[in-house]
Amino acid sequence: MEDFILTEDHLETGLRGIPVGYCPTSKVDPQLGLSYGGILLKELAHKAPEEVIFLLLNRRLPNDAEVKDFSKNLHSRAKLDPRVIEGLKTLPKEGHPMKWLVAGLNLMGMYAKNDSYREECMNVMAQIPELVAAIYRIRAGWGDPIEPKPELGYMENFVHMLSPPGANEHFARLMKVFDIIHFDHGGGNLSTFSGKTVASGHEDMYGSLISAMCGLAGPLHGMANQECLRFLKRALNEVGDPTDAKAVNNYLQQLWDRKDKLFGFGHAVLRVEDPRATVQYELGEEICPDNELFLMSKAMRVHGSNFLKQHPKVQNPYPNVDAVSGSLLTASGLTDETYYTVLFGMSRCVGIAIQIVYEREEARGGKGTPIVRPKYLYSGPAPTDA
């Protein structure tokens, strides 16, 4: 690694670009985008989620026998303690679903704590689909949670337990792709770093993931998918016809003139279109090519990028993962966008948990990383000797 010199210009910048450790699971390259275990996302997006989870855990893809054994391992752990479900039923329905996810992880930690980060990682990955499905059904009032059938497959079982009333025949396929593309995203994003920071104090996996999900819940991170969908709905309402290039460009100019945000564009690292977005645009052409919200997201992909390219201060004028995910979920029948961040969280808990296992049990020859304790420079009044 090239030498890194820390200067005062790096202070109060959110640690952006400052190396603090290693991430063995995934990498975000400015030109190539996201890769897991050295394999580009576009090569993984349509595999079985179990294969990709195995890859993140072992840094290689499994053979047929290994994925079968690994799937059986997940299946054997896939049942939540029923007291978690009973605890969820006591939560206020006006609370945001991300608050419910945090509460659910806390309940899991109360009833299922284990002294091994690796075991807790496996249990969380196996059980979080049931947790999220139960949150949806209880909070939305769709009836009692549906009993899991882990033999269906990792995400197939989740779709079975979720069973949103408006889901169409494409929903299961979309959820498998959505799950995979959100599993991991390097080591320094807010949610992952938060989880690893808390774990560095030797908090258990559940408490660490709670902190991660609190980080994910904000509009600048995981909740961006909700914001992007709302943006597309407003744009569609004002533009009318998403195929009318003139109307779309007029709308973009109006946004710019009133200093409103063009949601779903830009990325801290990438300087090309987010491959996670590319995968979703391609999938959308297959499962919902005529959906108006998807057509609006496509129009923004073309005209939004071209508009932003005219402004040299914009470092990355291309769509990110959130630009299109909400339109696909809506088109496939899950129309309540307040749950979209929870779907993101369900997936991201996989990668964060695996990174926590690395930092606690594998890093530094098995010693683990030390407790996170950065230095802050005092900037208040000079101390005086009274």
Residues labelled catalytic: 221, 267, 322
Rounded CA gap, 206 and 381, in Å? 40
Contact 320, 266 (CB under 8 A): yes
Rounded CA gap, 93 and 188, in Å? 33
CA atoms within 13 A on the CB side of 374: 12
Rounded CA gap, 232 and 224, in Å? 12
What residues does 26 pair with on adjacent strands? 36
To which residue do tokens 């990383």 refer?
369
Helix (H), strand (E) at residue 326: helix 322-331
Rounded CA gap, 260 and 134, in Å? 37
Contact 324, 95 (CB under 8 A): no
| Of 218, 385, 232, the residue nearest 301 (C-alpha) | 232
To which residue do tokens 């990325």 refer?
267
DSSP one-letter string for 240-283? S-TT-HHHHHHHHHHHHHTT---TTB--SS-SS--HHHHHHHHH
Rounded CA gap, 148 and 145, in Å? 9
Q: Determine the angle formed by the axes of helices 340-357 and 117-140, rounding to 10 degrees.
A: 170
Between CA 181 and CA 187, with CA 185 as vertex, the angle to 5 degrees is 160
- List C-alpha distances in Å: 102 to 118, 123, 140, 177, 342: 20, 16, 17, 24, 10
Rounded CA gap, 308 and 320, in Å? 14
